[in-house]
Amino acid sequence: MEKTQVIVGLGSCGIAAGASKTYDAIRNLKEVDSLDFELKKTSCVGMCFREPLVEIIDDTGYFLYGGIDEAKALEIIERHVQHHEPVKEYIVKSDLFPTEDDNYFEGQVKIALRNCGYIDPEIIEEAEAKNAYKPLKMIATEAISRETVIKTVLDSGIRGRGGGGFPTGMKWQFAFNSESEEKYIICNADEGDPGAFMDRSLLEGDPHAILEGMAIGAYAIGASQGVIYCRAEYPLAIKRLNIAIDQARGKGYLGKDAAGIKGFNFDIYVKEGAGAFVCGEETALIASVEGERGMPRKRPPFPAISGLWKKPTNINNVETFANIPYILLNGAESYNKYGTDKSKGTKVFALTGKIKNGGLVEVPMGTTINDIIFKLGGGIQNDKQFKAVQLGGPSGGCIPAHLLNTPVDYDSVNATGAIMGSGGMVVMDETTCMVDLARFFLDFTQKESCGKCTFCRMGTKRMLEILVRITEGHGEEGDIEKLEELAYQIKDNSLCGLGQTAPNPVLTTIKYFRSEYEAHIRDKKCPSLSCTSLLTYEVIPDMCTGCTVCAIKCPVDAIDGSKKEIHFIREDDCIKCGECFNVCRFDAIKLS
């Protein structure tokens, strides 16, 4: 290696954690002191819990530093780069010695995320050095037929990573079979659940993988135009996508006779969406691309027959397209050797919530939830007790502790009442109220309903009203049964996936945590001590010293008691703000 490389992670997560300041500090030092190393940029490597991240690659090996602010960055440059002394206390990964974060990487197999964190996404040559566009060029040099491409995708067993899990090759076959001189291919980059964090990171970190996956799909089905439908709230992703598109055109991978494939004229543009959750549904997305309000359409006809501008259209999500070049380059067997019988390959999950190691992980299908949360994710924050995980985004379901050994594949996850979704995994601990959680997610999906279906528009509203009543202490006998009845009506009669899956959080929390609903309704208590309206604060006489701090801090003067005497909280006047509980130094305030 001619020069030591210093690489700063500048994905959205890193920038939010201060990586831009870290980069600027290193750059300024390099310029002022005329230091001889190469300073580069990359995107998210997945370890969001260790941002800002700085990689150093020198003649001795690879080093990944975590939590690097400006001061630590300058220390690393001086000690490691200038004096060849790695700063071990900041290193989170190295190929020379183990670290406490090695568990995060064990068990991961990176296919979709293969280049994220390892290339500068704004320099196409770095992507090419990692085999970008080689599979596309193979089509021209080896005269690979469209039928062969589709068969390879079918044989790989890859299913759509956007949530539905429909076999990708079969979807392509339908579009291929549709007779039309004009066809379209669309990348859905607008999904609005926590898994969308994964989509954004892929777009920011390896946009060329998505472009190449789309180009391969377009060749296979005979499309001449591609659209990336990306929410406008992802400015960095959109910026890097447009840079990548311009670079791909300049290299001949897009345009007339794309990648040297005679007669294959294909180009891509980015359509910015407004971030509507319903536009994750393909027919609503198509309506939005056409300039109409994003509302689902009746199917059939399916988009493969009549999609964008009523022409045959194929839609896959970001992660699906990112896998395609790998499959074509390495063969179907290289992909389907991972996973289970009906769920092949790997899956990217966005870990969030009450988990120590929040970020992105990519694991073979069939890996258990337990391994993802407790091995890769490091377990629960503050070592509290695991309670449940919300899988599949706002319209997914909650999986309880006794099902932790559930493998993450489509059939096993669906059997719990949850859905795979696009990979959002929200972890909850003992302090989470499952009734309030159901209310939170239903509030989101109710607001995101396009309003076209009466069952979705009004049914979710009625369900939300019941949940609000329950969490505020006004629940009534029969409310659980009403929620279940409404939920099944909505699932059975809604037009699109948003309405059909919106009741999932309610149904799964009732199924696995019914006792919490009953406690809210019958006892007017929240077992998790989370619902403010159901909390009671009282003084423990044996612990109270009469210091008066609680009385002084109470904003509504609801605490009686003289100095050095036992105090008393007037429940009727208490607004349940919790200030007395927070300021008491003697643990004399009981919360129930």
In contact, 304 and 297? CB cutoff 8 Å: no
Confidence at residue 192, expressed as pLDDT on a 0 to 100 scale:
56
Residue 194 has pLDDT above 60, yes or no: no
Listed residue (400, 421, 442) closest to 349, CA to CA: 421
Listed residue (96, 122, 402) closest to 242, CA to CA: 122
Confidence at residue 54, expressed as pLDDT on a 0 to 100 scale:
97
Distance CA 243, CA 241 (A): 5
Name the more confident of 2 and 379: 379
Chain centre distance of CA 178: 33
Query: ω into residue 301 within 30 of 0, thus cis?
Result: yes
Name the more confident of 498 and 267: 267
Distance CA 69, CA 24 (A): 11
In contact, 378 and 103? CB cutoff 8 Å: yes
Listed residue (473, 471, 470, 472) closest to 482, CA to CA: 470
Range scoring the smallest mean pLDDT among 18-27, 191-200, 375-384, 434-443: 191-200
Torsion of CA 138, 144, 146, 148, to 10 degrees: -110
> Average pLDDT for residues 462-480, to the nearest whole number?
96
155-171 pLDDT, tens digit per residue, is: 999 999 877 789 999 99
Q: Say whether 2 sits in a helix, a strand or coil.
A: coil
> Average pLDDT for residues 187-191, to the nearest whole number?
84
Distance CA 379, CA 373 (A): 6
268-288 pLDDT, tens digit per residue, is: 999 998 878 888 889 999 999
Residue 591 has pLDDT above 80, yes or no: yes
Listed residue (464, 477, 496) closest to 294, CA to CA: 496
Confidence at residue 191, expressed as pLDDT on a 0 to 100 scale:
63
500-553 pLDDT, tens digit per residue, is: 999 999 999 999 999 999 999 999 999 999 998 899 999 999 999 999 999 999
Q: Which DSSP string corresponds to 504-533?
A: HHHHHHHHHHHHHHHIIIII---TTS--GG
Confidence at residue 472, expressed as pLDDT on a 0 to 100 scale:
94
pTM for this model (two decimals): 0.92
Residue 193 has pLDDT above 60, yes or no: no
Contacts 24+ apart (CB under 8 A), 367-370: 367/107, 367/407, 367/408, 368/404, 368/405, 368/406, 368/407, 368/408, 369/399, 369/403, 369/404, 369/405, 369/406, 369/407, 369/408, 370/404, 370/405
Listed residue (157, 151, 143, 188) closest to 172, CA to CA: 151
Residue 195 has pLDDT above 90, yes or no: no
Running DSSP on this structure, what letter comes out for residue 301? S
Name the helix (H) or strand (E) containing 227.
strand 225-231
Range scoring the smallest mean pLDDT among 112-126, 160-174, 190-204, 363-377: 190-204
Helix crossing, 207-221 with 196-205: angle to 10°?
100
Q: What are phi and psi of 307, to 5 degrees?
A: -120, -115
Confidence at residue 366, expressed as pLDDT on a 0 to 100 scale:
96
Confidence at residue 424, expressed as pLDDT on a 0 to 100 scale:
86
Confidence at residue 355, expressed as pLDDT on a 0 to 100 scale:
96
- The domains located in the chain, with CATH, are 5-99 (3.40.30.10), 124-336 (3.40.50.11540), 346-429 (3.10.20.600), 434-523 (1.20.1440.230), 536-591 (3.30.70.20)
Running DSSP on this structure, what letter comes out for residue 308? G
Q: Which tokens is 297 given?
A: 């359409």
Mean of per-residue pLDDT scores for the chain: 94
Q: Which DSSP string corresponds to 162-175?
A: TTT--BHHHHHHHH
Residue 473 has pLDDT above 90, yes or no: yes
Confidence at residue 251, expressed as pLDDT on a 0 to 100 scale:
97
Confidence at residue 448, expressed as pLDDT on a 0 to 100 scale:
87
Distance CA 520, CA 469 (A): 10
Running DSSP on this structure, what letter comes out for residue 368? B
Residue 197 has pLDDT above 80, yes or no: no
pLDDT class of 57 with cuts at 50, 70, 90 = very high
In contact, 443 and 465? CB cutoff 8 Å: no
The answer for 319, left when phi > 0, alpha when psi is -120 to 50, beta otherwise, is alpha
Confidence at residue 1, expressed as pLDDT on a 0 to 100 scale:
55
Range scoring the smallest mean pLDDT among 89-98, 246-255, 273-282: 273-282
To the nearest whole percent, how much of the chain has pLDDT over 70?
99
